[in-house]
Amino acid sequence: MLYMYKFFGNYGVAILFFTILTKMLLLPLQWKSKKSMAGMQRIAPKLAALEKKYKDNKQKYSMEASKLYKQEGVSMFGGCLPLLLMFPIMIGLYTVIREPLVYIVGLSGDQLKILAARVIEFTNETGGDSAVNALTFTVDNVSRFQAALASNINVFFDRLLTITPEEAEVVAKTIGSTAEAVMENQTVIAEKLMTINFNFFGLDLSQTPTFSFNLPVYGISWLWMIPLLSGLTGYGMQWVSKRYNPQVNTKQDQQNSMEMMTKIMPLFSVYIAFIVPAGLGLYWIYSNLFSAAQEPLLNKLLIKKGLLPKKDEPIEVKAEIKE
């Protein structure tokens, strides 16, 4: 993210190309996952025949099913691998978006406190106590509100590059340090500090979508578009996946579980996008769009290689299980 931001100079564009990079890196695993799912569809008739044959002997069915998986070279959990890998990527990206001054600018905890103390002081000078009260961060909790601090740094950027001995004394008392340590850290801050352009088509990606009666349109912010688009693109991606995957006759309870998951996951993404900085919701939108575009391409390749039947070709149970 650091290199992408420095190259493109825009947070939203950096997230876009970060999404492209992660999708490219995960493509081999995605292909393996699709092959595994195709294998599950291919052996579904044999599994159905086994289940019918050993309906009164669950242990025997489990043994024969495991043997079938092994014979066909199919993994029951192969299709879950990309999904499992997406969670650490999401957590890592959330950390970067939540703490840009550490992971993009490269500042330490003490340097963050110095910046927070100075921004609060400058805000107090320009807007009074009411302006300071409007800030979402303090010296003590600034590590959790770095995106908010980064937005305010842009306002006072030039003043934050230098500090006088008198100002260092004031900051030292505020953060419980020494003036010498403040001056030393200020040298590093001046070398590393940079403005971060969170603006993306008029939206501040450092902010968290929220409801407030102080907002101009019935408490609704334009940032609401990001969680809503996250959910809509999630449903779109699910529709594309269902559209391009051949249907396999499964148990009713399994079908119900799958349908429930397709309904819940996009709603879950909407909820998450409402409680985290908008940049993470934007990543989710990008990811859904790329996944939706990737799905038909991978399926066409599977059909071409004979690993999947064409969509209009039903999968019927024709297999006979020998004693």
SS3 260: helix
Tell me 222's DSSP state.
G
What contacts 290, CB < 8 A, 6 or more positions away?
Answer: 19, 20, 23
Q: State the pTM of this model.
A: 0.75
Residue whose entry in the numeric block shows the structure tokens 């900085």: 277
Condensed to tens digits (0 to 9), the pLDDT of residues 10-68 reads 889 999 999 999 888 888 888 877 777 777 777 878 888 888 888 888 888 888 888 88
Supply the pLDDT for residue 175: 93
Supply the pLDDT for residue 185: 95
Kindly give the pairing relationship between strand 203-204 and strand 199-200.
Answer: antiparallel
- How far is it, in rounded angstroms, from Cα 75 to Cα 160? 57
- How far is it, in rounded angstroms, from Cα 198 to Cα 246? 42
Give ∠ CA 174-176-178 in degrees, rounded to 5: 100
Condensed to tens digits (0 to 9), the pLDDT of residues 163-185 reads 999 999 999 999 999 999 999 99
Supply the pLDDT for residue 211: 60
Instruction: Provide the terminal-to-terminal Cα distance of the chain, rounded to the nearest Å.
Output: 58
Supply the pLDDT for residue 186: 93
pLDDT (tens, 9 = 90+) of the chain, 323 residues, equals: 778 888 888 889 999 999 999 888 888 888 877 777 777 777 878 888 888 888 888 888 888 888 888 887 777 666 666 667 777 887 888 888 888 888 888 999 999 999 999 988 888 887 655 555 566 678 888 887 887 788 778 788 888 999 999 999 999 999 999 999 999 999 999 999 888 888 898 888 888 887 655 554 444 578 888 999 999 999 998 888 777 765 554 555 455 556 677 778 888 889 888 888 888 899 989 999 998 998 888 888 888 877 766 655 554 444 444 44
**Beta-ladder partners of 299:** none
- How far is it, in rounded angstroms, from Cα 148 to Cα 208? 10
Give ∠ CA 167-173-178 in degrees, rounded to 5: 80
Supply the pLDDT for residue 84: 73
Query: DSSP letter string over 66-110?
Result: HHHHHHHT--TTGGGHHHHHHHHHHHHHHHHHH-HIIIII---HH
Query: Element (H or E) spanning 134, and its range?
Result: helix 109-134
